[in-house]
Chain A
């Protein structure tokens, strides 16, 4: 059986099961009410895309810098990176968003909730990225650094030309997983009243009392982002593939 056929089959079975489940629940779909608010979904989805994209790029940068910090020879740099990672990974994003927006952003005079939301999301995801990158960097054999030093590369050149290209291949699957999480985690931005996709669905639900009709498009909206990301990650993995040694 071909891979494509197998995928189609699994999706078809799943769809059939879900259809039966919905039918047995006796739920009567009323799409008209929700359809009237379709523009809200589109705007919300675009906001989610924009904020996720921004956070995605920033969190990769934060993660990389922190990963290098975690491996630093200087105790103060290492400690700062470690405290950041543990603090972020040990607390709920919900709390970070509330403190970030109502306390920290307020204190520094940042008022735009879209900017603050993206920043908090990036810092949140960056802590996970940092651990992924740290693992990737640690997995490169010491001989590679030796060789880079022996041919006269500076530490920065060694990182850029020798270590990172190899580490990226190792961490790609984990990074893709983290990015998928980031996109879904952006749904929590609704708690600081950012009009992204989840808040749009919540609002439409409260206007129309059509719960499933509001939340099913929400699921579809996220899948529309996460599935291509997974496909891209698999393509990149093949693109970077080479045998070690």
Chain B
């Protein structure tokens, strides 16, 4: 996925959250967005995922622009997947029904075909025994892994993950990160916002440091973590990385 972002501006009321942000990546599989809280990472990810419309600017993946009208965005969202920090599973449905709902109501599969499609991933990620539980009966890590499967069920072109482990304790964080690592290996393309720097370093092809509504620096993970020319980025990593 070759991402090109040009002049992206977003404001809520009088607060400017993204300020003419530019970002270009190579044809990579995993882009990780890092940076201080309130710097604009989540806002940027929501625009990339087609959930919010930027006030100004453009986004394209592999030369294909992200639409700027609601019907276009709806079609776009159907081709990508999004995972939220708070899981946002549907509490009135079982884990299985959470997975099959988009397949049946958006992608036109029969309920039986939808169940068949999600059976293998549920098995692979050791969630099959929890399939008939409601979200309230699942642990945080199980909820987030179900949420990731829900985003993946429609076989999206790419996945957007917004701080998927920020609400989890270390053990559950590990199980979710392990799953994301496995997805990377089987070729899933994704953009990830995270504070897990160790994991970011391992999984990212490229890293973009977002702060103050702009991309302060971006580039291959190794360069960014080890000898980034930007002092702000070096200071940030020096404080966070052991």
Contact = CB atoms under 8 A, between A and B. Distances in A.
Interface of A: 141, 143-144, 146-147, 149-154, 157, 161-162, 165-166, 169, 240, 242-245
A242 B134 contact: yes
Contacts of B118: none
Contact of B92 (A141, A151, A152, A169): A169
B135 interface: yes
Contacts of A150: 49, 51, 77, 81-82, 84, 88, 151
B136 to A, nearest CB: 4
B105 A161 contact: yes
14 contacts: A143-B88, A144-B90, A146-B88, A147-B84, A150-B81, A150-B84, A151-B77, A151-B151, A153-B105, A157-B105, A157-B106, A161-B101, A240-B92, A242-B136
Contacts of B150: 151
Given A143-B86, A161-B101, A245 B74 contact: no
Given A147-B84, A244-B136, A152 B91 contact: no
Contacts, number: 65
Contacts of A146: 51, 84, 88
B138 to A, nearest CB: 9
A221 to B, nearest CB: 37
A2 to B, nearest CB: 30
A147 B136 contact: no
A151 B74 contact: no
Contacts of A151: 77, 101-102, 106, 150-151, 154
A144 B105 contact: no
Nearest to B73: A149
B112 to A, nearest CB: 19
A22 B231 CA distance: 91
A154 B74 contact: yes
Contact of A144 (B78, B88, B101): B88
A243 B107 CA distance: 29
Given A143-B84, A151-B101, 11 more contacts: A143-B88, A147-B90, A150-B49, A154-B74, A157-B106, A166-B90, A242-B92, A242-B134, A243-B137, A244-B136, A245-B136
Contacts of A169: 92
B127 interface: no
B90 A162 contact: yes
A100 B51 CA distance: 46
Contact of B88 (A147, A166, A240, A242): A147
Most chain A beta-carbon contacts within 10 A, residue among B49, B91, B106, B137: B91
A149 B134 contact: no
A159 to B, nearest CB: 12
A149 B81 CA distance: 10
B102 A165 contact: no
Contacts of B49: 150
A243 B101 contact: no
B89 interface: yes
A183 to B, nearest CB: 29
Contacts of A245: 91, 135-136
A193 B101 CA distance: 51
Contacts of B135: 245
